[in-house]
Amino acid sequence: MEKQKRFILPESEIPTQWYNIVADMKNKPLPILNPGTKKPLTVDEMTPIFCRACAEQELNSTDKWIDIPEEVRNQYKNYRSTPLVRAYGLEKALDTPAHIYFKNESVSPVGSHKLNSALAQAYYCKKEGVTNITTETGAGQWGAALSYAAKVFGLELAVFMVKVSYNQKPYRRLIMQTFGAQVVASPSLGTRAGKDILTANPTYQGSLGTAISEAVELALNTPNCKYVLGSVLNHVSLHQTVIGLEAEKQMEMAGEYPDTIIACFGGGSNFGGLSFPFMRHNILDGKKTEFIAAEPSACPKLTRGVFQYDFGDEVGYTPLLPMFTLGHEFAPAHIHAGGLRYHGAGTIVSQLIKDNYMHGVDIPQLESFKAAELFAQAEGIIPAPESAHAIAATIREANKCKEEGKQKTILFNLSGHGLIDMTAYDQYLAGDLTNFELPQEEIDKTTSKLEKII
């Protein structure tokens, strides 16, 4: 009997509810604050920027299970369930006793997990009569997903794409435009936030924090327009739990349960999406699964950040979030994993780190590309530079298994493919990529400016 390689759920088994880990957390995340009053943010204070349904999910969700609207489920069926894959090729290349599985979110039509939340948020906006939406994007995975979701639900979309990625990854800009979205390099001259940043630093290549400022500002100044976010916030992670809920059933099909779960970490949505459904068994059922968030050494908020209230964006338009952060003015180096160039971690994840349910590891850029190349040659899939961080962390764990002669079951999230990121591979293959040292004083410079609320 040959071994099964891919595990796919029938359409009838695609989850009909998302999982809200907050309901099960013993220590709830600290509240999001109104920066003016320093009091917990209310839904009414959030709705000038966000649609009401997302604001409700963000602030008031106490239900453990939240129904996925039928319109969103119908769209999920276009690409879900995504396969759970046993990485026999990678295991062989590493000569490891570990059993390695990955959840392949790269098969979504836009190439990443981001569509799971894009469809949900676009649907909620449409349902509330919103006509226009704005967002930020780093490498463009989120922007591409939202561009398609906006088209599905008949919304106009403007995307602020971090300038360094706008230039590094022209194809992803073109994908957004093919889906009908407007794309602007950020910082731009079209917003007050962008103008101020460019005035202070004309060659600034942008960051997710800056792009968020611009998108929020545009939403506030445009009639019937809401802002939509691709990560960080609770409701985004919530929508992504469809990943882990599927993976749970698929691991059961494979007859194993993960000892270690790994995902890359930018704002936390693909990490939370895969992890939270499994983590509930650590919280409730005494399971001992280890959860590892793989972040880039160039933007190490989990391993080197401080836990403090901070803004979600560069300028300070957003509410104050309790998070592990490098400071909202932190300008990360120009690594190719544009989706991981964000200064802070979401409020749920930050609490889970404090409570030792998970931990971060930091991966230098060269190690991530070496892992990506090995994975591509072993499994045939060229991973996104972001996902390559999860692969690198997985390889570290698998090598540990080999050294210690232990058989562990490792599950990681292949959050996206890297077919649009080939210039990064070009530079890697040519030997032109470097690691980025990040001296402690760089971190201190931006974290020391944070108001001490905690």
**Binder of a copy of itself out of 244, 425, 438, 443 (CB under 8 A):** 425
**Residue 182 touching a copy of itself (CB under 8 A):** no
Stretch that binds a copy of itself, among 173-181, 211-219, 344-352, 397-405 (CB under 8 A): 173-181
**Binder of a copy of itself out of 252, 404, 426, 451 (CB under 8 A):** 426
**Binder of a copy of itself out of 174, 198, 283, 333 (CB under 8 A):** 174
Rounded CA-CA distance 340/389 in Å is 10
Structure tokens at 173: 């800009």
Rounded to a whole number of angstroms, the minimum distance from the CB of residue 109 to a copy of itself is 4
Rounded CA-CA distance 301/293 in Å is 11
**Residue 170 touching a copy of itself (CB under 8 A):** yes
In the bound state with a copy of itself, the residue whose beta carbon lies nearer, of 30 and 381, is 381
Stretch that binds a copy of itself, among 131-139, 309-317, 373-381, 396-404 (CB under 8 A): 373-381
% helix / strand / coil in the chain, to the nearest 5?
A: 45, 20, 40
Stretch that binds a copy of itself, among 148-156, 207-215, 298-306, 443-451 (CB under 8 A): 148-156
Structure tokens at 378: 């072993």
Rounded CA-CA distance 302/285 in Å is 26
In the bound state with a copy of itself, the residue whose beta carbon lies nearer, of 362 and 421, is 421
**Residue 70 touching a copy of itself (CB under 8 A):** yes
Rounded CA-CA distance 374/393 in Å is 13
Rounded to a whole number of angstroms, the minimum distance from the CB of residue 265 to a copy of itself is 24
**Residue 5 touching a copy of itself (CB under 8 A):** yes
Rounded CA-CA distance 108/114 in Å is 9
The SS3 assignment for 436 reads: coil
Rounded to a whole number of angstroms, the minimum distance from the CB of residue 9 to a copy of itself is 9
**Residue 48 touching a copy of itself (CB under 8 A):** no
The SS3 assignment for 97 reads: coil
Non-local CB neighbours of 294 within 8 Å, separated by 6+ positions:
262, 263, 264, 265, 360, 361, 362, 363, 389, 390, 392, 393
Stretch that binds a copy of itself, among 183-191, 371-379, 405-413, 439-447 (CB under 8 A): 371-379
In the bound state with a copy of itself, the residue whose beta carbon lies nearer, of 60 and 377, is 377
Rounded to a whole number of angstroms, the minimum distance from the CB of residue 4 to a copy of itself is 6
Rounded CA-CA distance 106/264 in Å is 14
**Residue 419 touching a copy of itself (CB under 8 A):** yes
Count of residues that interact with a copy of itself, criterion CB under 8 A: 44
**Residue 406 touching a copy of itself (CB under 8 A):** no
Peptide bond between residue 207 and the one before it cis (omega within 30 degrees of 0): no
**Binder of a copy of itself out of 379, 384, 409, 447 (CB under 8 A):** 379
Rounded CA-CA distance 82/100 in Å is 17
In the bound state with a copy of itself, the residue whose beta carbon lies nearer, of 214 and 379, is 379
**Residue 23 touching a copy of itself (CB under 8 A):** no
In the bound state with a copy of itself, the residue whose beta carbon lies nearer, of 284 and 422, is 422
Distance of CA 345 to the CA centre of its chain: 10
**Residue 91 touching a copy of itself (CB under 8 A):** no
Structure tokens at 76: 């999920």
In the bound state with a copy of itself, the residue whose beta carbon lies nearer, of 135 and 318, is 135
Distance of CA 241 to the CA centre of its chain: 12
**Residue 4 touching a copy of itself (CB under 8 A):** yes
Order of strands, sheet of 225-227, starting from the edge strand that comes earlier in the sequence: 182-186, 156-162, 132-137, 225-227
**Residue 218 touching a copy of itself (CB under 8 A):** no
- Judge contact between 360 and 353, C-beta under 8 A: yes
**Residue 67 touching a copy of itself (CB under 8 A):** no
**Residue 111 touching a copy of itself (CB under 8 A):** yes
Rounded CA-CA distance 55/437 in Å is 38
**Binder of a copy of itself out of 284, 429, 453, 454 (CB under 8 A):** 429
- The C-alpha R_g of the chain, in whole angstroms, comes to 20
- Judge contact between 272 and 25, C-beta under 8 A: no
Q: Which amino acid is at 333?
A: A
Rounded CA-CA distance 33/57 in Å is 16
Judged by the rule CB under 8 A, the positions of this chain that interact with a copy of itself are 2, 4-6, 8, 11, 70, 73-74, 77-79, 85, 89, 107, 109-111, 115, 148, 151-152, 170-171, 174-175, 177-180, 373, 376-377, 379-382, 419-420, 422-423, 425-426, 429
